[in-house]
Structure 1
Amino acid sequence: MPGQVIALLGAESTGKTTLARELARVLVARSLDAVMVPEALRLFCDQQGRTPLQHEQAMIAAEQTRQIELARQAHRIVLADTTALMTAVYSEHIFHDPSLYAQALVDHAQVQSTLLMSLDLAWTADGLQRDGAHVREPVDGLIRSALQGAGQGYAVVAGHGTARVDHALSVIEHLLDEPARQQRSTGAPRWRWFCDNCDDGECEQHWLAPKR
């Protein structure tokens, strides 16, 4: 079966890449089949030596989705360093172009868990990909608005160093434990309601007037 995708979203300089790498390392150390999918935008900037133009945004978003899907078919756990949704957000923020949201949200719906990075880390420069600390709050707001508008849940990850990793791991562990929780729930005895008429709570006799 295809693997489970954990997406890491967040404004620039919020530790997405560092956290994704560390989560993959920890999960592999636990003998789990985990892999990290790098950010397509970062690869584009490294290869081209520039940031993408407006007409190149859709291609980057599609490539991000393609790489995630390839990893999902080959591994049990996929740590995605962003999804197409981040490209859509920056396309709106930089180019005032919201056209990428529709497909990006369809793609993001394949994600099992979304980790949204808190803004509690200090901003640091990182070559072509960083615009400045002033863009973080607007971008964070656009991410939250897109997810909430689509009815897609997310968990905000905060903290520094190992605390941030532990916080993210707690969310992932809850996701991975879901099948076991369902099995425990299925095997647990069901509560039943007993009354003077019978032990079936749905029985229509409960709604009949008592005989005189």
Structure 2
Amino acid sequence: MKIKVKPSLVAAPMAFFYKALTKTLRFEVEGLENLIEIMDRKEPVMLALWHNELFALTSYGMTKGFPYVTMASDSRDGQIITETLERLGFKVARGSSTRGGVKAMLGMTRLMKREGCIGIITVDGPKGPRHKVKQGILAIAQKTDSLIIPMRGYVENPMVFKKSWDHFEVAKPFSRCKVFMDKPFKVTDQKLSPEILESEASKIEAAMYNLGNGF
């Protein structure tokens, strides 16, 4: 018999330790002005991240206190992630590319339009392939008329979960983290045919690969 633990009983300590660890991290940031300028103009914007860099970049985002919205799956694990992120100050649209993806995309679009949230998408998530841009961000960006800022996070000597599909990285206490934000990318106004989607995704992918440098 499986013993089901309430998500809140897991999310609360996770959020507590996440906040505590974040306070010890030292961030070195380049390109924040690219985001600030868009926010000052009150234009909609999305941040494109790799899934394996999510830990450090979420930590950095939490320190800025901007209004963010991201997605989590409709699964039980997704509920834990949702409740954890909400405790960190993020809004969450439920669903993913494998479960309820359309619902999540509509939820994110609604929050971006209605509340001026910054959309955050792990563009190769939730299950890969690793560092291969999927096309959901393009549909949301075109629907909300949003600019996309590719974003990278490099952690000094991270813990790497090599058995995970993305080699997920977790920062150790008191680590240095380099954060890079690229110049904004505008999705084409053309109808997003399969060919256009592939072309636009490849542009974001190239920008991600060329952005910043590690330790």
The question of a shared fold, defined as TM-score above 0.5 by the shorter chain, is answered with: no
TM-score (norm 2): 0.39
Higher helix fraction (1 or 2): 1
Structure with bigger gyration radius: 1
Larger strand percent: 2
